[in-house]
Structure 1
Amino acid sequence: MSGLSMPFTSDQEQLLVRLKDARPEDLQAEIASRYSIIIWLKNHLNSRLPIFRLPGEILVVIFLYYKAAMEAAAHAQAQTSSPFHFLRARHSRFAWLRVTHVCHHWRTVALDAPQMWTSFHVTAQDCEFIREILERSKGMPLNIQASLDNGRNPKPVQSILAEMHRVQTLELELYPQMNHHLCNAAVPFEAPRLQSLTLRSTEKQASSVTDMPSLFDACHLPELRELIMFGYKPRWTSNIFAPTLTRLTLSCWGRYATSFPTLLDALCRMSALEDLNVTGGSVSVSLAEQGEIAGRQAVLPKLKHLNFTTSSMKMMYVIDCLVIPASCKTAFCLRSLDVVVSTSLAPLSDTILSKLSGATSVGSHTPFRTFAILKDPETPTTIILAFWKDLLPTSNLDLGDASTPKPDLQVSVMLYPVTPEDIQEFCGTLPLREIEVLSVGLATCEMKPETSWSTLLILLQSLNTVRLHDGAAAIGLYSMLTVYRGLSPSGQREFYAPGMKVLVLDRIRMREAFHPDDDLVLELVADALQARKDSGSGVEQLVVKNCINMGAKDIEVLQPSVAEVIWDGMESYEEVIFPTPFPQFRYTLGFPGSVISADGTDHGACEEVEGGVEGGSGSASRNVSGYGECMF
């Protein structure tokens, strides 16, 4: 034993002598025996660590949180436009399996916890892998995401369909030509636990139309509550349009038309709907059916949200036949219309009025109090008209803000071929007499300001507060202040919106960056405010915040024309990025705000509070605002 490099006990030396001439299989057996002892000793050592004092139930909860975090990270990666990130996200969907490879104890706890294996993503993995996961879930309800791309093995997805008796939620993304591979397999006849079903086509071309999979056409779905379908032409006779549905979301921009009676029959069956969102598509109405449309209705007494996005005015036939609660929040979006002769929005107007009048709605109606006009930030050629029945503060009208209440009525119209004149005419048909708060963005005016403001303000007979915003030049403000209907017997101008007492200027550009000393527009606005004051229709409170190329001297010019000016004190000057003869032009932010009254008193720093802007003296303003652009 002199050749050994380390000392051995006498017992070990005897063992080595005994095994010196042993057969290889005996040596392997001895190694395995000793290795198992080492594993046992390591496990015993690990069991003394503090983490091992946690009960298995607590570990499972920790593992589930870890799994949720990993899946959320994978989902976020999949949303990026980079193909590399998308592939990496697919691989990381099972990153949570790392917890089963940390130690023997963690692996045992994870494998024995069926809730760890009830939600997973299926692509083209080995069928044995999917079978193992299904076994570990031990018959518990399943929540599954499955995708089948072109040329991939369909068997993993087929194995999931065989478990439909315990699937609770299913998201199925299919390459259109792979549908037949699933239909040739065992089609489920019943999914007693299925509550949410999502069908998504991998075909991303907006012009493509793919018939929806027929997998569930004859399946019994007694618990289905939610159906989401993207990229497929609906087959309204399918069982997936179940009477138990409370949420239905459909999106397919391909050019197709559904038979109107078939669609209406399907909606009649889904009387439990609370949320209906349809994007794309049209309906076909024969001459014989047109006479029957007026007498047909689909009553949806529980509907809370209705959203239709379409490029076909024929969809108004469908909406006209829906009887919904008066409290239902409704949104209509008209994309570039398929027009032949007329771009009139009269069909949309008639549909809305039938709802507001109670002809096709149930319950008491409350007039609109707040109105916002804006352009869609994502689609600048789209005009948005938003209406609320409540009187909202200006700080709570940003449609992109999660804290902003959902409008009671929202109408989005894409310009061209529809014109601003069409939208102007459309507004004239709506009941706007009770509107007290108006929010308009002025970044782009599509018509002559004088014409647009007179057309709009004549409709708003109860107007109290106006907010103008969005980086527009203040010349639009001047146009709004100076429009009038005629002269009084005493020869004074009778201005529109005589009850306008609060004017909020938010992000208004008082002068252009390359003309920092040009006070023409400022003086015009001051004169307009003074003219309204002299006529008895003056603005009592002027709120100025976040305005551009404007400072304390400008506030002093405006102050004599109103009872009170509330200024946030922020001087913001655009920086001229090209060579300029105005070296003094600068960009500064941030010295204390102030509230300046008509007597010139500075009330100290101002602070924005709920319902207004409050000065150091305790005076407060009602600050009602919104986001919008003047399309007139």
Structure 2
Amino acid sequence: MAPLFIKVPLTAQCCSTNEVFDAFSRIRTIELNVKGIVDLNLEPRFPKEAPILQRIVFRNHEALQQEPDIILPGEENLCDSPIPGVFDHCPLPALTSLSIEGFTPDWRNHLFAPTLTDITVRITSENKYGTGCMFDALNQMKNLRLLDLTLECASLDWLTRQTRQVSLPKLEDLALHASMESCVYLFERLEFPPTTAVSVDILGAPRASLLLSSLFETVCSRLSVASAPRILTVALWDNDHIHTIEPRNHFAFWDQTIDTRVFRSSQPTVKPLFHIEITCVQDPLALLTMGISMGPVSNAHVLFIGTYVERFYHREDYGELLKESMPRVHTLHLRPPDMVTLERMCRVHKSEVTNETQPLFPCLHVLVLSELCFDRDSVWGLKRALRERKRSGHSIHTLELLQCETLESGDVDSFRKHVDEVLWQGEEGPSDDEDRRDDESRLLRGGLRGIRRRGFRRRGLKKKFVFS
């Protein structure tokens, strides 16, 4: 039988609400949606029993939309309002899921029961909260599988609870949304399996690089144990193309081979083992450097760099770090690459120690280039890199060119001489003679609007209150 969803006004006088209350023993999910600070006055009406209630959601919409840094003098911080006490005297033996958004939770409340398997808490207030009661409650939840926290920890906890630990042996998903300091503090005090998918969203400007390094060190040490999954994909990218107010850098590990071509239009559907999102840092490849120098990435097959990092590629030690840390990379995706980057990644280099010529990625078979504006120099540089790899016995099998719109078919044909396959999402632009004849024909017909700009290419495409 399909579940029934009923939406009714949240007032004591509403007959629909009364009917729902009368059938409370049959309700499995309840969502309590309010706007602002209101006196519901429903506590006396709420039933004293909810034998099969499994999921509760408290959501304060206005508190979630309130900007904590622009609250006017005398204006109440809506996120500081407590959870409505409608279940204070109601046993909840079947409760497994609890979501509190825009309210201040009291972790001593019986809602935070040992039976819970997933918890979401979103506090958008800038007030800092003590974690003692939260840690006590979480330590009782040995079956917890999902923990999603948005909050700031009180600075006092740094001094008084340095060794406090929380054991979550069955945790599958952990998401932290907070300042760098709070994320590091929470992450270092939660104990969970190495298979747990971790997402860290650093809110505000990352002021302390030492804390970021500490976070990576803790993450990578957990992924380095024998029981941890093998890392197969490493990615660094940004969201500049989404036109957000605040550009963000992303870094992630996966235990699967990921198709990084989807990163342009959407996020990958496969959940990463570890994902960090942070306001764009001055040197984004510092994230990659920390990840590959501290993490167990020797078995990684796919490397995606989707942010412009020209300055960092000029460092001589960067190539050695990649070569030593990721020797098994067979797919490299660069977006958008500059030519210095491209040549250093793909060309054959002579070792100063052994005097032998070897490419940076000896196992590289697939090279994907996105949004590269080709000119004569870049075409020649890529051909040279492909030719050198082929002569050294490390030829690239597949070259894929995505949204490289200044490329012509003659250039693509020259690449085909050095690789087995070229995939190109584009059509050649008209030659100069074709352009001129086409323009003259349109002019004779008086069709000035139809003149095509020289160099234009068509882009081909590959392929409240709810009860239930």
- 2:359 corresponds in structure 1 to 495
Q: SS of the counterpart of 1:333? A: strand
Contact kept, 8 Å, 1:370 with 1:435, in 2: the verdict is yes
The alpha-carbon distance between structure 1 residues 286 and 541, as it changes in their structure 2 partners (threshold 3 A), is closer
Tell me how far apart the structure 1 counterparts of residues 338 and 349 of structure 2 sit (CA, whole Å): 21
1:197-596 to 2 correspondence within 5 Å? 197-201=56-60, 202-203=62-63, 204-207=65-68, 208=77, 209-215=79-85, 216-286=87-157, 289-293=160-164, 296-301=165-170, 303-337=171-205, 339=207, 342=209, 344-358=211-225, 364-376=227-239, 378=242, 379=244, 381-393=247-259, 400=266, 404-416=269-281, 419-420=283-284, 422-427=286-291, 428-442=293-307, 444-445=308-309, 447-451=311-315, 454=319, 457-458=322-323, 459-469=325-335, 476-482=341-347, 484=349, 486-487=351-352, 490=355, 493-505=357-369, 507-511=370-374, 518-560=375-417, 562-568=418-424, 570-571=426-427, 583-590=453-460
Number of residues paired by the alignment? 426
Contact kept, 8 Å, 2:234 with 2:254, in 1: the verdict is yes
**AA aligned opposite 2:420:** E
Structure 1: unaligned runs, 5 residues or longer:
1-60, 69-114, 135-141, 143-159, 512-517, 592-606, 609-632
| Alignment deviations for residues 526-557 of structure 1 (CA, whole Å, 9 cap, x no partner) | 12222333444442432335532223111122
Tell me how far apart the structure 1 counterparts of residues 158 and 352 of structure 2 sit (CA, whole Å): 53
Q: What's the CA shift for 1:224? A: 1.1
Q: SS of the counterpart of 1:477? A: helix
Tell me how far apart the structure 1 counterparts of residues 49 and 350 of structure 2 sit (CA, whole Å): 69
1:127-146 to 2 correspondence within 5 Å? 127-128=14-15, 130-131=17-18, 134=19
Tell me how far apart the structure 2 counterparts of residues 170 and 586 of structure 1 sit (CA, whole Å): 56
Identical counterparts, % of pairs = 22
The alpha-carbon distance between structure 1 residues 178 and 287, as it changes in their structure 2 partners (threshold 3 A), is closer
| Alignment deviations for residues 307-345 of structure 1 (CA, whole Å, 9 cap, x no partner) | 112114233333333332332222122122474x65541
The alpha-carbon distance between structure 1 residues 316 and 287, as it changes in their structure 2 partners (threshold 3 A), is closer
**AA aligned opposite 1:278:** L
The alpha-carbon distance between structure 1 residues 590 and 367, as it changes in their structure 2 partners (threshold 3 A), is closer
**AA aligned opposite 1:276:** L
Tell me how far apart the structure 2 counterparts of residues 231 and 425 of structure 1 sit (CA, whole Å): 37
Contact kept, 8 Å, 2:11 with 2:17, in 1: the verdict is no
Tell me how far apart the structure 1 counterparts of residues 248 and 92 of structure 2 sit (CA, whole Å): 40
Tell me how far apart the structure 2 counterparts of residues 315 and 246 of structure 1 sit (CA, whole Å): 22
Q: Output the aligned Cα RMSD.
A: 3.6
Tell me how far apart the structure 2 counterparts of residues 485 and 238 of structure 1 sit (CA, whole Å): 66
TM-score of the superposed pair, with normalisation by structure 2? 0.78
Tell me how far apart the structure 2 counterparts of residues 438 and 248 of structure 1 sit (CA, whole Å): 33
Tell me how far apart the structure 1 counterparts of residues 234 and 140 of structure 2 sit (CA, whole Å): 35
**Which 10-residue stretch deviates more, 430-439 or 448-457?**
448-457
**AA aligned opposite 2:186:** V
Tell me how far apart the structure 1 counterparts of residues 254 and 206 of structure 2 sit (CA, whole Å): 30
| Alignment deviations for residues 87-129 of structure 1 (CA, whole Å, 9 cap, x no partner) | xxxxxxxxxxxxxxxxxxxxxxxxxxxx7xx722224596345
| Alignment deviations for residues 485-543 of structure 1 (CA, whole Å, 9 cap, x no partner) | 744655x65432222222123x33333xxxxxx41211122122223334444424323
Tell me how far apart the structure 2 counterparts of residues 569 and 319 of structure 1 sit (CA, whole Å): 43
The alpha-carbon distance between structure 1 residues 447 and 253, as it changes in their structure 2 partners (threshold 3 A), is farther
| Alignment deviations for residues 576-623 of structure 1 (CA, whole Å, 9 cap, x no partner) | xxx9x99432222459xxxxxxxxxxxxxxx98xxxxxxxxxxxxxxx
Q: What's the CA shift for 1:462? A: 1.6
Q: Greater RCO between the two (CA within 8 Å, min separation 6)?
A: 2
Tell me how far apart the structure 1 counterparts of residues 194 and 273 of structure 2 sit (CA, whole Å): 10
**AA aligned opposite 2:108:** T
Q: SS of the counterpart of 2:142? A: coil
1:183-198 to 2 correspondence within 5 Å? 185=44, 189-198=48-57
Tell me how far apart the structure 2 counterparts of residues 552 and 246 of structure 1 sit (CA, whole Å): 57
Tell me how far apart the structure 2 counterparts of residues 582 and 478 of structure 1 sit (CA, whole Å): 34
| Alignment deviations for residues 215-268 of structure 1 (CA, whole Å, 9 cap, x no partner) | 134532111121112112222111111212122112122113232322211111
| Alignment deviations for residues 47-102 of structure 1 (CA, whole Å, 9 cap, x no partner) | xxxxxxxxxxxxxx9xx9xxx9xxxxxxxxxxxxxxxxxxxxxxxxxxxxxxxxxx
Tell me how far apart the structure 1 counterparts of residues 203 and 159 of structure 2 sit (CA, whole Å): 28
The alpha-carbon distance between structure 1 residues 175 and 446, as it changes in their structure 2 partners (threshold 3 A), is farther
Tell me how far apart the structure 2 counterparts of residues 249 and 385 of structure 1 sit (CA, whole Å): 23
Tell me how far apart the structure 2 counterparts of residues 508 and 525 of structure 1 sit (CA, whole Å): 14
Tell me how far apart the structure 2 counterparts of residues 175 and 252 of structure 1 sit (CA, whole Å): 15
Tell me how far apart the structure 2 counterparts of residues 338 and 496 of structure 1 sit (CA, whole Å): 32
Q: SS of the counterpart of 1:325? A: coil
Q: SS of the counterpart of 2:378? A: helix
Contact kept, 8 Å, 1:372 with 1:439, in 2: the verdict is yes
The alpha-carbon distance between structure 1 residues 437 and 272, as it changes in their structure 2 partners (threshold 3 A), is same
- 1:174 corresponds in structure 2 to 34
Tell me how far apart the structure 2 counterparts of residues 586 and 263 of structure 1 sit (CA, whole Å): 60
Structure 2: unaligned runs, 5 residues or longer:
69-76, 431-448, 464-468
The alpha-carbon distance between structure 1 residues 267 and 283, as it changes in their structure 2 partners (threshold 3 A), is farther
Q: SS of the counterpart of 1:327? A: coil
Contact kept, 8 Å, 2:367 with 2:399, in 1: the verdict is yes
**AA aligned opposite 2:168:** V
Tell me how far apart the structure 1 counterparts of residues 280 and 327 of structure 2 sit (CA, whole Å): 28
Contact kept, 8 Å, 2:257 with 2:301, in 1: the verdict is yes
Contact kept, 8 Å, 2:112 with 2:137, in 1: the verdict is yes
Contact kept, 8 Å, 1:211 with 1:233, in 2: the verdict is yes
**Higher gyration radius (CA):** 1
Contact kept, 8 Å, 2:26 with 2:52, in 1: the verdict is yes
Q: SS of the counterpart of 2:139? A: helix
Contact kept, 8 Å, 1:572 with 1:589, in 2: the verdict is no
